[in-house]
Homo-oligomer: A and B are copies of this chain.
Amino acid sequence: MTNVINEGDLILLYFDQRRTYLVAVEKGRTFHTHKGYIQLDTLISKEFGTRIASNLGVEFVALKPLLSDFVFKAQRRTQINYPKDIALIVMFSGIGPGSKLVEAGTGAGALTTALAHYVKPDGRVYSYEVRPEFTETARRNLARAGLLDHVELKNKDITIGIDETELDAVVLDLATPWLVIPHAYLAIKGGGTIVSFSPTIDQVVKTVEALQGGFADIQTVECIMRRMQIERGKTRPETLMTGHTGYITFARKRLG
């Protein structure tokens, strides 16, 4: 049976939405939480979804990590790409199993993780990053998510040029996307896509202007996600909210 926790597997220990832990199940390992410690090896051979109590009798659930868990847990060292934005970037890019694309900058690999997940098993993500320490963080995060085989991490400045050609897509999350657009035009195949994520309006204006020469169907959107508190008699949007993460700009390469 394939849905069983084996030694060495990663699990997501779930207490509540704010307290989840991505940990490896190892023989003899105890994991300490704010609600007592958990003997991880008692989970071996149990099914994912199993409940487990800490030594203080507080219950956790041992879940199989999803893409969104890897994405969320990868985000400790750089600015955050929210899962909502990653979801839209993936959809707009048009990629899927088998796609070949370039991404920059790698950062801690959160967006890279999502892109690699969706191009499996035959596609490939070429991910550019100028800061070697981020490339190494991303390498660890991708390895943990089991996706390193689908990614080529490159310690290179994408504003200088893109090595690859005939790409399905170029996905940008960096400070000066407009500097990459001439290189992206050469690297993307006809009708292929470019998707750029930027926090400020000024970046978006420069990016859209740079796209106008060689791209069609240029669109910019912002996605605002509201979490709801659902409870009969107390249902309402949550009080605190992330007001803005960034704008997503999309376009498709036009020839001639």
- A residues near B (Cβ < 8 Å) are 3, 14, 17, 20, 47-51, 61-64, 66-68, 83-84, 86-88, 90-92, 94, 96-98, 114, 117-118, 120-121, 166, 189-193, 199-202, 204-205, 208-209, 216-228, 230-247, 249, 252-256
Contacts and interface: CB of A to CB of B under 8 A. Distances in A.
Contact of A201 (B88, B201, B223): B201
A36 B94 CA distance: 29
A68 B91 contact: yes
Contacts of A88: 84, 87-88
29 contacts: A3-B189, A47-B190, A48-B190, A49-B253, A51-B255, A51-B256, A61-B254, A64-B190, A66-B94, A66-B252, A67-B91, A88-B88, A90-B90, A91-B114, A98-B120, A118-B118, A200-B233, A200-B236, A204-B235, A221-B226, A222-B228, A223-B226, A224-B224, A224-B225, A226-B243, A226-B244, A236-B244, A236-B246, A240-B241
Contacts of A233: 200, 202
B237 A222 contact: yes
Nearest to A256: B51
Contacts of A192: 49, 64
B227 A238 contact: no
Contacts of A67: 91, 94, 96
A236 B199 contact: yes
A238 to B, nearest CB: 5
A254 B51 contact: yes
A86 B87 CA distance: 9
Contact of A50 (B118, B237, B256): B256
Copies of this chain present in the complex amount to 4
Contacts of A246: 236
Nearest to A116: B96
A60 to B, nearest CB: 9
Given A121-B121, A205-B231, A237-B244, 15 more contacts: A3-B189, A47-B189, A49-B192, A51-B254, A61-B252, A62-B191, A67-B91, A91-B114, A204-B235, A208-B230, A218-B230, A221-B228, A223-B223, A224-B224, A239-B243
A68 B92 contact: yes
Contact of A118 (B51, B97, B238): B97
A97 B99 CA distance: 12
A220 B201 CA distance: 15
Contacts of A190: 3, 47-50, 64
